Structure 1
Amino acid sequence: MSRFYNHYLEEEEKKLRGTPYEELMDYFNLTSNPVMGNDGEEYQSYIEYPSFDRYTWEDIEYVAQIFNIELEIDHDCFPFEQDRLYDEDEEERIDNLPSKIKNLVQSYDSNGRKNIVYPSKEEVREVIEKIFKDNNIPLETKYEIEWDDFPENHKLYSYQEFSLFDIDVADNLVTNNADKYVEKIEKIITSYKNTDDSLIKKSLLLAAFSTNEAFIRSQIIAKMPQLNELTNDTYLTETLKKAVRTSLDTYPGRQQLFNNYCNEDNIRFKETEQSLRNSLAHDIDSPTVDGDELTYTKRTRRNPEGSKETCNMLDMLNDLKEFYIITN
């Protein structure tokens, strides 16, 4: 593959991954909202992230995974407030704790033997809250103007130049778009078949996912009206562009736009399972590979620990190639 195409894939993968703050919004089903000034005009957005006291333990574990924080605490088995004899098992348990939680464990001598007392749930939660704050996890309402990490797609106005046609497959010739898309996926499949390296295989699958997402965006864009031609009102045009951009960057948004503008085309909406995509994008070393079989952890809010799922990578690549269906 060319250096240009490799660069294109790298840029698309960056878009695919998003930011941990956006994943946090998805997890808690949060939305951005406008702030109204005294003149009745909207001048910035805000996101109301939940405070730490609203976190369940499942929330704590999931958010820690999003931000790559190793807590090493099994809530169901952790001996909160228990007084125990210090032995090899307790030594191993304590050694695996984050240092700030480890410092909460008290010890004393009893009849020449060392005993330890574990902290309470409240004490542990206080320390975890401090760890979250140290890692810049938002635990309060955040405002666009005041927070450097405010997700770009959720700002009232994007401060980066906005262009709907910012991907090389986006043009007005839908057939040519499809040809380019199939050609790119075929190159990825060829590279996949020519390697036994599991990391390269996973990287190619992720590249195929981002290529698929870009192609779906291009199909939507090609069918949408030119926003600059809808109205001469600059404020309304920018507001529409922001809404479209936000929708194009989310799975439900793309699906809704696709169904509205592409429902009569010879094509079906096909995207990847989000847990698999996120697993590859955020921790590509985590999924395991055996031949063409890839095993990953599918996590949900109700099941933050996740369940193991297995898929065939070559089948998925072929499915992504064939999803443009000619019915005539």
Structure 2
Amino acid sequence: MKKFNIEDWEIDVEQETGNDDYIYGNYVDWDEFRTTEEENLLSYFEVDIPWGKEISCQEFFDFLSQEVFYNTSIINSYPFEDLEIIETGPVMSDLLFLFPSRKDLEYDMLVSDIFDYCEVPSGTAYEDDLPQELQFWYSMMEEEFLESEYEYYKNYPLGFANFNESILDIKSKMSSASDTLTKKSLLLSSFIISESLYKSTIVSKIPTENNISEFSKEILSKSLGEKLRGNVDTRNKLFKKIFNVKSPKQEWIALRNSLSHDIESSKLVGDCISYINLKDGKEYTENIYDLFEKQINFYEELKCIVETDNEK
């Protein structure tokens, strides 16, 4: 059965701005997309729901036999066995049923369950969690910079020694800072540096191809740049392919996304920062110095992976 492919749709994106009209990035209200495109999506997935119609036994059987119901237990969550019989006869084929209305609350979640199965996104996705083609800053950088992210980290890598020096310097400044906004900015800077180290490490392992055309080099550079600019899952998959091991845990990604999305929305009390995870909408609290330790552990594990790989 066909699953949702974002490339087949024109997705309306909104821009999120601050009080000073600074653009944080794009976002997509996928629930709104599901609602406005419901009929088109059902047609796209070739799912037929005869809302409010009179249907025969055969038509009811055809409805139940659709792949989305046949391969899942979705149908078990709804009282289809209680359909109203509006016409009877001497044989089964004479029966007519009244299919529920789309507005029937008992069946309100049916379409949502179908869309979940077909992998249609839900909720609200912000800049860092959007596909690259829907991101505001990715589009801006594509327009303004010819150099791909791959080329940037190939030419300006962040080494382990420089990272260690930088992260300790930021931690020291954090200890002496009194302003909460300054502390949040320093914390976000540390996350960006950790991300730069990760990307630099990935790029350092990619061999330079000299025996291919300039056009092929350009295609390769663009493809790798897109993967590096992608979300953390995309980068982790690339890391696994290159080093043949899972990447070290990056336990600050949700906070990093929250800070880059709206740095003022988080609350800093003492050494603890509370923030809303953009994916699940829940509030979490972290000790800022624990976060530095996690980044240092990340650096040490990453360095160990590289050293082990170099010994092969």
TM-score by length of 1: 0.48
Residue 167 of structure 1: how far off its partner (Å):
4.5
- CA contact under 8 A between 2:151 and 2:225: conserved in structure 1? no
Aligned residues between the structures: 186
Amino acid at match of 2:147: F
1:245 and 2:250 correspond: no
Question: In the alignment, residue 162 of structure 1 is paired with which amino acid?
Answer: E
Letter in 1 for 2:271: D
Give the Cα–Cα distance (whole angstroms) in 2 for the partners of residues 169 and 188 of structure 1: 24
Residue in 2 aligned with 1:283? 262
Q: Deviations over 1:203-259 (max 9, x none)?
A: 1110011001111110011100224x252161x332222221111012122111212
Amino acid across the alignment from 1:279: S
- Residues 223, 170 of structure 1: alpha-carbon distance in 2 compared, 3 angstrom cutoff: farther
1:279/1:225 CA distance change after superposition, 3 Å: same
Question: Is 2:32 aligned against 1:53?
Answer: no
Distance 1:238 1:221, change over 3 A: same
Q: CA 1:249–1:312 in 2, change beyond 3 Å: closer, same or farther?
A: same
Asked whether the equivalents of residues 170 and 177 of structure 1 are also in contact (C-alpha less than 8 Å), the reply is no
Residues 268, 323 of structure 1: 8 Å contact kept:
no
Q: 2:147 aligns with which of 162, 174, 196?
A: 162
Shift of 1:170: 4.1
Report the secondary structure of 2:146's partner residue.
Answer: coil
Larger radius of gyration between Structure 1 and Structure 2? 2
Deviations 1:265-318 (A, max 9, x none): xx9534344331121112111100111110011132xx5xx2111011111012
Determine if contact 1:246/1:253 at 8 Å carries over to the other structure: no
Note the C-alpha offset of 1:200: 1.2
- Residue 293 (structure 1) aligns with: 272
- The answer to whether the aligner puts 1:219 opposite 2:201 as a matched pair is yes
Q: Give the 3-state SS of the residue equivalent to 1:295 in structure 2.
A: strand
2:195 maps to a residue whose letter is E
Which residues of structure 2 form unaligned runs of 5+? Answer: 1-21, 39-132
TM-score by length of 2: 0.50
Task: Report the residue type matching 2:145 in the other structure.
Answer: Q
> Alpha-carbon deviation of 1:18?
9.8
The whole-number CA distance in structure 2 between the counterparts of 1:323 and 1:279 is 20
Report if the CA contact (8 A) 1:170-1:222 is conserved: no
Map 1:6-21 onto structure 2 (within 5 A): 20-21=25-26
Structure 1 stretches of 4+ with a deviation exceeding 6 A read none
Residues 273 and 287, structure 2, Cα contact 8 Å, conserved in 1:
yes
Q: AA paired with 2:237?
A: Q
Q: CA RMSD in A?
A: 3.8
Contact 2:275 2:284 in 1 (8 A): yes
Partner letter of residue 285 of structure 1?
A: E
Aligned partners of 2:137 and 2:182: how far apart in 1? Answer: 33
- Distance in 2, matches of 1:313 and 1:255, equals 24
State the distance in 2 between where 1:275 and 1:154 align. Answer: 23
Unaligned runs of 5+ in 1: 1-16, 29-48, 56-143
Looking at structure 2, the residues matched to 168 and 231 of structure 1 have their Cα atoms a distance apart, in angstroms, of 18
Whole-angstrom distance in 1 between the partners of 2:160 and 2:274: 30
Amino acid at match of 2:253: Q
**Greater fraction of residues in helix:** 2
Task: Return closer, same or farther for 1:217/1:165 CA change in 2, 3 Å cut-off.
Answer: same
Q: 1:82-231 counterparts in 2 under 5 A?
A: 151-152=138-139, 160-163=145-148, 164-167=150-153, 170-171=156-157, 177-227=159-209, 229=210, 231=212
Q: Which has the bigger relative contact order, CA under 8 A and spacing at least 6?
A: 1
